[in-house]
Structure 1
Amino acid sequence: MTSEQDPGGVPELPSPGLAALAQAHGIATEFHGYHGVLRTVQASTIRSVLAAMGVAAFSEEQVAAALTEHENAPWRRLLPLCVVARAGRQSEFFVHVRDGSAVAVDVVCEDGSRRALEQVDAWVPPHVVDGESRGRATFALPADLPLGWHELRAREARPDGADGPGVVLRARTPLAVTPDRLEVPDLPTELGGRAWGLMAQLYSVRSEASWGIGDLADLAELASLAGGLGADFLLVNPLHAAEPVAPQEPSPYLPSTRRFVNPSYVRPEDVREAGYLPSSQRALVEWAQQGVRDANSDPGLLDRDESWAAKKAALEVLFAAPRTPARERAFAQFRAEQGRGLANFALWCAIAEHFEGRDRPAEADDITSPLVARLRIELRERAEFYTWLQWVADTQLAAAQRVARSAGMRVGVMHDLAVGVHPVGAETWASRRLFAPGMTVGAPPDMYNQQGQDWSQPPWRPDALARSGYAPLRDMVRTVLRHAGALRIDHVIGLFRLWWIPEGAQPDEGTYVRYDHEAMVGVLALEAHRARALLIGEDLGTVEPWVRDYLEDRGILGTSVLWFEKDDDGGPLPPEHYRELALATVTTHDLPPTAGYLDGDHVDLRASLGLLTEPVEVVRQAARAEREAMLSALRRRGLLADHPTEREVVEALHRYLVATPSRLLGVSLADAVGERRAQNQPGTHTEYPNWKVPLADAAEQVVRVEDLAASARLASLVAAINGELRTRADELG
């Protein structure tokens, strides 16, 4: 194979030492482009990535020193940074002591019970570090340890010597015992153990009573409607928190934090205290809504800032209202459960509000600074308000999930987890040490984004995650799953590797960085097991086959999008060849709805935005050929007549999916009402109104929650899916 050359000339290739150092830190030195050509990563990129990990490699002397340090580092530690194991499997870990010392290790379980571990007879030659001879002891974790977050505790008893008589050194490290495999919850037996659900961008789905954008009350209404139609889940966009001040970032995939909820989704009238307000204060809430209520019928772009300003004014009135003792205790319990993470997030919100419209001092961006310590005291009342907002959002999320289950859904609300966070958001502010400075995450060029993508998100440092015992990942997933039946993990390959791009570089000038997928997937599986939730990994794009096999082995469903599933000749993949453990859909939020895709809107849009690297006619012809191949496949299966309407084609595509063995089938609400406009065009920021398009029909007339029950198009699509599912179940016995 040959290496591609950059247009600007011959890149500097990494030296053997730099390549070895990169490999030691999980940094790829070469990768295959989307045309299958092997590309070598520039040395400058590798040095930048290493620097972001705290490793200087700008000379061969530094490279040699860094390699030695990497080899010696584990030998200096008594215990590993953390240990993640699978239940039901015996595993081993290393303990490092002064050569000749005795060592003992116990497991202290969550319930307080203690268990001594046995040392394995596995002699390893000692290793000299910093002039001291260090030995390695191997300990076994028994297969019958209970699931949970435990702790390893070690005691090294050193012989008499320079340290004095009988010196005992102690260390402790987190131990997570995770499920070997998640069990898929029971799905409807009358449908052959399969289920379907709606997929919606919640902010775009409004009702008559909304405040300009869809909210958690609309989520409950939509869940009730979907459950009544036979759906078993409702997948919504990430509900992660954005900035508390204007302008709010419109992308739900670029939040300030993934752990907490955007209070813009709160419905003020559903806060319990709203029912007990004096008439004068109730009027304030009603007046606040009047300014945004007309927007619910406006087909124009959504205005999050206007909606949040109105809601915030109303919510401040409700926050000031007295709460009953029981409500106050519930609020206090929530605050205690969420701990320091919630306190820091609320403080960040209060500080952002405090400096709104003013120059923000650099000290305010450092959580350890004296200024932030002072503001923690001065802004405690405003921080309390933002803490309360999270409690209110949590109660309304709980209510929506109860409605979903009461409507007959087996799964209920399915949340979506973004890949990362905003570079100057709450999460990077509170946990800066976890993130790689000077790096953003994205994707290399592919067929749909031929210039690559830069998502403007700082990546977690793999080493920092391990040092934290994966607590940030645990706490985030635990909070998101509090009131959910499933979690979709966007770009699940990010648990295995991420495309890091040095700041200022083009998206195709990055490289892959590996993560400890065994640990990260294990943490997700443990929290999902405890929440009794499904996990679905969005594994589209360039994903090695072994990754999909690994996720399936762990009981994590994959994602199949009809337009991306191809056979060996590049034609539509026959439905029988789809994966069983998968969420299968016709489309995704990164493509136009199916009506628009069939007409080639995705080509026209990318051409108009200058995102194509091939001639537009070449790409348009490929889109036409793709469409005709799909229609031919539908006709061969008797799913489509000659001269079909657009609605009939959309229904036939969904019936094609029913013929797959996939356990979950997702139906875009946009497809169900005839919407054509894309919610998002990857590779753009201001060039296209991403995440601002309200739900509408083919004529761009707004479709509200109340309109859905009478939608003939929705009813026809649901009938086609339910009928096909029952027919398939009957055929299979």
Structure 2
Amino acid sequence: MIDLEKLADQMGIARDYIDSCGQYTVIAKDSRIAALSAMGFPVHDESEMEKVLKTMELYPYTEVMEPVLVLRDGDKPFIYFNTPASFDEKGKISWSLTLEDGTEYKDSFPLSEVEIADYKTVQGQEFDKRRFIIKEDLPYGYHTFRIKISGAGKAINKEMSLIRAPLKCYVPDAIAQGKKIWGVSTQLYSLRSKQNWGIGDFHDLKDLLSYVAETGGHFVGLNPLHAGYPANPDPDMVSPYSPSSRYWLNVIYIRIEDIPEFNLSAKAKEIVYQNSFQQKLRALRDREYVDYRTVIELKLKVLRTLFDSLRLDDKRSLRGRKFLEFIEKGGSSLINMATYDALQASLYAKGVNAWGWKLFPKEYRSFVSPFVEAWRKEHIDEVRFYCYLQFIAKEQLEEAYLVAKKAGMIVGTYRDLAVGVAPGSCDVWSDEDGIYREKAEIGAPPDMLGPLGQSWGLAPMDPYSLKQSAYRKFIALYQANMQSCGALRIDHAAGLYRMWWVPPEHRPTEGAYVAYPIHDLLGIIALESHRNKCMLIAEDLGTIPMELRHALKEANTFSYKLFFGERAFDGGYIAPKDYEKQAISALTTHDMPTLKGWWTLSDLTLGQKLGIYAPADATRLAFDRNNAKQRILDSLHGLMSVGAEVPRHAADCPMSEALAVGMQIHMCRGNCALYSSQIEDWIGVEKPVNVPGTFREYPNWRRKLTANLDEIFSDPKVLELTAKMTQARDHAK
């Protein structure tokens, strides 16, 4: 009888955990076995399971070495490999170490000179575990270690990826030396301006960075900029946290008029400057919510005209050569992304509901299908068009970051890395390394924000397959997302240590935690952090084990501190001056009500309307909220963050400008190195950007700001607020 519980232990599937309230919680056996099934184990076929387990047991020994080894600062420079005990000790071992820059070290000597650190008998075969010591001064980077063992007519040839990484992530010198800064966090699509096409874009980002720099801020935090589904007509499939690809950008943020080719194309200018077209743009700008479908259709029309009329893939021009170099550098990842978008657009045009690759015709459901290759060759212009969109998007994002750097911002653009991708996404469709698992979704166990648990509709990466592929896609993921920014937020950073897997037939409460190789993942992140001069902010809210907190702190990532969650045992609010320094603090986030919405309890009213809260729950939450408001006022007055103009009693205290400013200054005086403010809270926006737990019930990820950027940053009240924030940060202790 196969002990599946023991196998689950071996595969890193937890038996228990401590929940967000500190309660010991046991994970059900059925949930653990379901997680094994999601990993690909034939748990309901004992004979097949026996074959799989035998292969697994022998695999580390027949493969000789691990596929990858990550050595961080302080790790012993040991490489272990296995050889059959019967192998001739007089045999010869030849090794080579090829550094990333091409430098090569090599040597050979008798196998007997390599220490046997352990031995083991597996399925009747005895193996020696040998320890090879790297004596070279190994620089940080991605290297290759190879061995060849020969003797008595036998030979073994193996290689591994050897990654040498720092222990700690990069931190800008000014912040490392104690400088305390503020910035803003916003949803790029929500920005209003007189020139955009009804959605915030990369030019608006340039303007926002300039405005923030001029008023004393040092960063602009953004929603994930990952590639979406430009062909999908569903108005609700727009969440930046459920992208098609995390390696590429959302082309809807392109500013058409900023493309160099635009002024060279009479056809494109004729389209854009037609009265009827301009009327459509004015209507899109005036709307309260972003109309993604109309915006992308208008932009694609002009972009296609640009591409077709100017032949940007012509290598005879400097611009053409730059574009072709971009395609070559993007490799298979870019071609797969462009093929997916072009193919999906073609299928929708034929009336196929192709919202995900599983609904593509059968012959197109695998990116390695010969039918896909044939389609790509036949439609190479369409594929290159979508490559061109990525080329322009990358160019415009880079230009925005340069604006921040020229303005002297310490961080500048601060990007956000979503925790995963949808099962129907391009990343899953083009999964070259077989790392995604489609028979589970990632989410979270029950906590205070989600008492019924959460399932986010995202496909998990399998930790075993990640390692077998030498973390190739994980490395590429961080390389891509550390471009054109000075900081990167890791959404749900708990995923570096463990993920809550929820099989499709299970409720979110019936998931199981699966462990991830945090030592290796943090090493890779630290290496890329230094190479890209990008600091890391780990969103560590929710059910976070203490081991992870220690690991993240040791790696120099910055924690997340939300004011409304930082409460003492007596229910009072912890003074921001007592927050930890290695952190970013904020009043609210995109998953919370705005400051005005929280204070007026409009989020509870909305929650009842949407069916999130029963009347009794809303009444209880309102009672708790009013108590919280009183404790906040006690703290604000006690620390002299507000004056007599703000009432001391919650029942007499509406949300006012004085209160909103006082709360911002209260946070700016805190100890955290970074403070993130939301523009919504400067101008009194009440509606939330996202209501967790809803999909079509509320227009998530579409609500815009209520004023244009130039209006906001010319408002005397905003200028006064930002001046006070800068002064408070400069004097924070």
TM-score (norm 1): 0.91
Match for 1:233 among 219, 226, 233? 219
**More divergent stretch after superposition (110-119 vs 250-259):** 110-119
How far apart are 1:554 and its partner, in Å? Answer: 0.9
Provide the residue aligned with 1:154 in structure 2.
147
Provide the residue aligned with 1:5 in structure 2.
none
How far apart are 1:104 and its partner, in Å? Answer: 4.2
Deviations 1:120-175 (A, max 9, x none): 6353123234x533221122345831111111212122x32xxxx2x322112212
C-alpha separation between the residues in 1 aligned to 2:530 and 2:175?
20
How far apart are 1:682 and its partner, in Å? Answer: 1.1
Do the aligned partners of residues 566 and 364 (structure 1) sit closer, same or farther apart at CA in structure 2, a change above 3 Å counting?
A: same
1:275 aligned to 2:263? yes
How far apart are 1:192 and its partner, in Å? Answer: 4.8
Match for 2:666 among 656, 681, 700? 656
The 8 Å contact of residues 422 and 458 in structure 2, kept in 1 or not, is answered as yes
How far apart are 1:289 and its partner, in Å? Answer: 4.8
How far apart are 1:439 and its partner, in Å? Answer: 0.5
Match for 2:131 among 107, 120, 138? 138
How far apart are 1:406 and its partner, in Å? Answer: 1.6
Do the aligned partners of residues 569 and 73 (structure 1) sit closer, same or farther apart at CA in structure 2, a change above 3 Å counting?
A: farther
Match for 1:622 among 620, 624, 630? 624
1:121 aligned to 2:115? yes
Unaligned residue ranges in structure 2 (runs of 5+) = 354-359, 647-654
Provide the residue aligned with 1:251 in structure 2.
239
Do the aligned partners of residues 25 and 143 (structure 1) sit closer, same or farther apart at CA in structure 2, a change above 3 Å counting?
A: farther
C-alpha separation between the residues in 1 aligned to 2:80 and 2:265?
62
Task: Report the 3-state secondary structure (helix = DSSP H, G, I; strand = E; otherwise coil) of the residue aligned with 1:196.
Answer: strand
Match for 1:724 among 704, 708, 728? 728
Q: Which amino acid aligns with 1:441?
A: I
1:484 aligned to 2:478? no
Q: Which amino acid aligns with 1:32?
A: I
C-alpha separation between the residues in 1 aligned to 2:427 and 2:287?
34
C-alpha separation between the residues in 2 aligned to 1:340 and 1:60?
39
**More divergent stretch after superposition (608-617 vs 256-265):** 608-617
Give the 5 Å matches for 1:50-89: 50-58=36-44, 69-87=55-73, 89=75
How far apart are 1:250 and its partner, in Å? Answer: 1.4
Match for 1:334 among 322, 326, 337? 326
How far apart are 1:67 and its partner, in Å? Answer: 5.6
How far apart are 1:388 and its partner, in Å? Answer: 0.7
The 8 Å contact of residues 124 and 135 in structure 1, kept in 2 or not, is answered as yes
Give the 5 Å matches for 1:366-385: 366-385=366-385
Task: Report the 3-state secondary structure (helix = DSSP H, G, I; strand = E; otherwise coil) of the residue aligned with 1:221.
Answer: helix
Deviations 1:669-722 (A, max 9, x none): 1112211111111111111111010112xxxxxx11221222234223212211
The 8 Å contact of residues 65 and 80 in structure 2, kept in 1 or not, is answered as yes
Do the aligned partners of residues 573 and 116 (structure 1) sit closer, same or farther apart at CA in structure 2, a change above 3 Å counting?
A: farther
1:315 aligned to 2:315? no
Do the aligned partners of residues 289 and 259 (structure 1) sit closer, same or farther apart at CA in structure 2, a change above 3 Å counting?
A: farther
C-alpha separation between the residues in 2 aligned to 1:722 and 1:34?
35
The 8 Å contact of residues 88 and 143 in structure 1, kept in 2 or not, is answered as no
Do the aligned partners of residues 220 and 352 (structure 1) sit closer, same or farther apart at CA in structure 2, a change above 3 Å counting?
A: same
Q: Which amino acid aligns with 2:32?
A: I
Provide the residue aligned with 1:524 in structure 2.
525
How far apart are 1:56 and its partner, in Å? Answer: 2.6
Do the aligned partners of residues 580 and 89 (structure 1) sit closer, same or farther apart at CA in structure 2, a change above 3 Å counting?
A: same
Do the aligned partners of residues 143 and 658 (structure 1) sit closer, same or farther apart at CA in structure 2, a change above 3 Å counting?
A: farther
C-alpha separation between the residues in 1 aligned to 2:55 and 2:6?
13
How far apart are 1:599 and its partner, in Å? Answer: 1.7
1:349 aligned to 2:341? yes
The 8 Å contact of residues 669 and 731 in structure 2, kept in 1 or not, is answered as no
Match for 2:711 among 707, 710, 721? 707
Deviations 1:75-112 (A, max 9, x none): 22121021111146433232112223554443211111
How far apart are 1:71 and its partner, in Å? Answer: 3.8
Provide the residue aligned with 2:538 in structure 1.
537
Provide the residue aligned with 1:6 in structure 2.
none
C-alpha separation between the residues in 2 aligned to 1:126 and 1:27?
25
Provide the residue aligned with 2:650 in structure 1.
none
C-alpha separation between the residues in 2 aligned to 1:23 and 1:126?
21
Task: Report the 3-state secondary structure (helix = DSSP H, G, I; strand = E; otherwise coil) of the residue aligned with 1:434.
Answer: coil
Q: Which amino acid aligns with 2:126?
A: S
How far apart are 1:24 and its partner, in Å? Answer: 0.7
Match for 1:692 among 702, 705, 719? 702
The 8 Å contact of residues 30 and 41 in structure 1, kept in 2 or not, is answered as yes
Unaligned residue ranges in structure 1 (runs of 5+) = 1-14, 697-702
1:585 aligned to 2:579? no
Deviations 1:551-604 (A, max 9, x none): 121111111111111223332122232111111111111001111111223333
Do the aligned partners of residues 136 and 104 (structure 1) sit closer, same or farther apart at CA in structure 2, a change above 3 Å counting?
A: farther
**Identity in percent:** 29
Deviations 1:37-90 (A, max 9, x none): 433323322222111212233377777776655443312212102111114643
1:41 aligned to 2:27? yes
Q: Which amino acid aligns with 1:148?
A: G
Do the aligned partners of residues 303 and 142 (structure 1) sit closer, same or farther apart at CA in structure 2, a change above 3 Å counting?
A: farther
Provide the residue aligned with 1:293 in structure 2.
281
The 8 Å contact of residues 477 and 524 in structure 1, kept in 2 or not, is answered as yes
C-alpha separation between the residues in 2 aligned to 1:155 and 1:666?
54
Task: Report the 3-state secondary structure (helix = DSSP H, G, I; strand = E; otherwise coil) of the residue aligned with 2:145.
Answer: strand
Deviations 1:520-555 (A, max 9, x none): 111112112111111111111111223222112111
Q: Which amino acid aligns with 1:592?
A: P
**More divergent stretch after superposition (583-592 vs 100-109):** 100-109
The 8 Å contact of residues 208 and 296 in structure 1, kept in 2 or not, is answered as no
Match for 1:170 among 157, 160, 184? 157
The 8 Å contact of residues 562 and 588 in structure 2, kept in 1 or not, is answered as yes
Q: Which amino acid aligns with 2:345?
A: E
Give the 5 Å matches for 1:358-507: 358=352, 360-431=360-431, 433-507=434-508
C-alpha separation between the residues in 1 aligned to 2:207 and 2:451?
40
Do the aligned partners of residues 143 and 292 (structure 1) sit closer, same or farther apart at CA in structure 2, a change above 3 Å counting?
A: farther
C-alpha separation between the residues in 1 aligned to 2:415 and 2:430?
24
C-alpha separation between the residues in 2 aligned to 1:197 and 1:104?
55
- Would you say how many aligned residue pairs link Structure 1 and Structure 2? 700
C-alpha separation between the residues in 2 aligned to 1:221 and 1:308?
22
Deviations 1:407-437 (A, max 9, x none): 2212111110000011101100000721112
Provide the residue aligned with 1:569 in structure 2.
570
C-alpha separation between the residues in 2 aligned to 1:292 and 1:464?
48
Match for 2:84 among 98, 102, 110? 98
1:209 aligned to 2:195? yes
The 8 Å contact of residues 423 and 458 in structure 1, kept in 2 or not, is answered as yes
Deviations 1:365-416 (A, max 9, x none): 1112221121121121100000011111111011101111122212111110
Provide the residue aligned with 2:356 in structure 1.
none
C-alpha separation between the residues in 1 aligned to 2:277 and 2:544?
46
Task: Report the 3-state secondary structure (helix = DSSP H, G, I; strand = E; otherwise coil) of the residue aligned with 1:123.
Answer: strand
Query: Greater relative contact order: 1 or 2 (C-alpha under 8 angstroms, separation 6 or more)?
Result: 2
Task: Report the 3-state secondary structure (helix = DSSP H, G, I; strand = E; otherwise coil) of the residue aligned with 1:483.
Answer: coil
Do the aligned partners of residues 308 and 325 (structure 1) sit closer, same or farther apart at CA in structure 2, a change above 3 Å counting?
A: same
Provide the residue aligned with 1:700 in structure 2.
none
Provide the residue aligned with 1:647 in structure 2.
657
Task: Report the 3-state secondary structure (helix = DSSP H, G, I; strand = E; otherwise coil) of the residue aligned with 2:157.
Answer: strand
The 8 Å contact of residues 645 and 658 in structure 2, kept in 1 or not, is answered as no
The 8 Å contact of residues 674 and 713 in structure 1, kept in 2 or not, is answered as no
Deviations 1:196-253 (A, max 9, x none): 1111100010211111111111111111111111111111111100112132521100
C-alpha separation between the residues in 2 aligned to 1:140 and 1:604?
64
The 8 Å contact of residues 117 and 140 in structure 1, kept in 2 or not, is answered as no
How far apart are 1:283 and its partner, in Å? Answer: 0.6
C-alpha separation between the residues in 1 aligned to 2:281 and 2:659?
36
1:180 aligned to 2:167? yes
Task: Report the 3-state secondary structure (helix = DSSP H, G, I; strand = E; otherwise coil) of the residue aligned with 2:261.
Answer: helix
Q: Which amino acid aligns with 1:140?
A: I
Task: Report the 3-state secondary structure (helix = DSSP H, G, I; strand = E; otherwise coil) of the residue aligned with 1:22.
Answer: helix
The 8 Å contact of residues 30 and 38 in structure 1, kept in 2 or not, is answered as yes
